[in-house]
Chain A
Amino acid sequence: MDDLLISTQELTENPTARVPICLVLDVSGSMTGAPIEELNNGVRYFMEAIRKDDIASAAAEMALVTFGSTVQKVLDFGSIHRQAVPTLTAGGRTPMGAAVNLALDMLEARKQLYSASGVDYYQPWIVLMTDGMPTDDVEQAAARACQLINNRKLTIFPIGIGPDADMEFLKKFSPKRPPLRLKGLNFVAFFEWLSKSVSSTSQSMPGEKVTLESPASWASWETL
């Protein structure tokens, strides 16, 4: 009996719940050469991996902030399948505090937009990568990040690149999750891990604990 079959026109459509991810990346002068090339490869890999995953692609919204000569909003939050893959260039100093502040401001604005539009969202993520130490004051940005993390409003992944990355400064942004040092220039392995983590999160349901894969493929354990 056709009368007993509902058509999709009689249903309502809700937007996919979003996973907001902000990459906050060091592009200071010391990243010149192989590091910036590998970082570009990693970002490209991440965007392509998400595009190939239907569920993650509908859910993930990426933003990209760089810190070097200036603090730059390279990409505002948006669907990865509509974003052009950027090519980052290295130069300048390491204004990490200003970059994290900008990322937190962008996250706040995005959450307000989601709420106003009836879009559900998951806990936002910030990936913070640096190969050195900040050249500006990070105290205010670190306090903002820590407050959000302690209130379970934010997850941050602090990653050190190379032997000169100051892990103590990274730790200031992450009261729960210890910073990890990238194994060599294994950016692609890190972004592969990140895309899998986004994929798991985008399929998680209320009450479900999302278990992220071990970071062994890209993290140098001796720094833990």
Chain B
Amino acid sequence: MSSHWKMFGASVQGRAHRKNDMPCQDYTFSLHRSGVYVSALADGAGSCSHADKGAEIAAQTAARVVSERFGELIEADRETCVRILLEEIRSSIVHAPDYVEPIRNYSSTLLFVAVSGDRYIAGHLGDGVIGGERAGTPFVLSPPDNGEFHNTTFFTTSDQAEERMRIYRGELGDISGFFLMSDGAAESLYNRKSESLAPALLRIREWADKYAADVVEQALHSNLEKVIREQTVDDCSLAIMALARMPEPSPSGEEAREA
């Protein structure tokens, strides 16, 4: 069965990076290709010199690989999925123009969700949160993985990345939305104690039904900047996938967007 998904994303520089004149190290990317819809988000590691570039490479590479190899990845075991994704991301990093050793300069977390037909695959390495909406109720698909301490987590270049990366696959059923957020945005949108999502996400999800894509994207950016960023010193990013409830133009075209 063919369905159409709308995808939005936005990233804003955190107060700490603004104060220290450092770039935003969060990055979101969405890709619609060959009937596969992919939304990816990566959060570059604090003091790594090329973390912003590393986040961009990780999100773009994951989206490309998952869209091209959806059928293979959804059937493969977890270890194979993780190996394919990390090998491709690490290869993209070392082959990037102006690559500066060591690869740890490009460390980032990674979150992605891909949908094709009635199936989805999601992957998550490190902190941040992947959530969803099922029949009007929000749910957490993948919680943060920080290790024991607040300022530690796992990155695309970490020795433990292979064992820490989580892969989720399943039938969509009643799922009609996915939310991907960096740890900065999760500070306001995810309750660590109850492991639940903030009500704001359902309202954001509704915007996808009511407004044009450029309006939703602008609203996402504006809310990250004016409301969500105020609750943290970290960069904030949010990506949304929403099942179109209205008939949409042909989903066969190709589209890529970044934020």
Residues of A that sit less than 8 Å from B by CB:
3-8, 10-14, 17, 55, 117-123, 153, 201, 203-210
Contacts and interface: CB of A to CB of B under 8 A. Distances in A.
Contacts of A203: 16, 233
B127 to A, nearest CB: 6
A8 B196 CA distance: 16
A14 B191 contact: yes
A201 B152 CA distance: 12
Interface residues of B, number: 49
A206 B46 contact: yes
Contacts of B187: 14
A122 B152 CA distance: 9
A6 B204 contact: yes
Contact of A5 (B16, B43, B196, B223): B223
A164 B28 CA distance: 59
B146 interface: yes
A11 to B, nearest CB: 4
18 contacts: A3-B207, A4-B207, A4-B211, A4-B215, A4-B223, A8-B227, A10-B198, A11-B188, A11-B189, A11-B228, A120-B192, A122-B150, A123-B149, A203-B233, A205-B183, A206-B109, A206-B153, A207-B155
A205 B16 contact: yes
Closest CB pairs A-B (n = 3):
A208-B46, A118-B193, A207-B45
B51 interface: yes
B191 A12 contact: yes
A206 B223 contact: no
Contacts of A3: 207, 210
A207 B48 CA distance: 8
Interface string B139-161: 00000001011111101000000
B144 to A, nearest CB: 9
Contacts of B155: 207
Interface string B177-211: 00000010001111111101111100110010011
Contacts of A204: 46, 151
A118 B194 contact: yes
Nearest to B191: A12
Nearest to A211: B47
A113 B30 CA distance: 40
B89 to A, nearest CB: 16
Contacts of B45: 206-208
Contacts of B47: 207-209
Interface in B118-141: 126-127
A5 B225 CA distance: 11
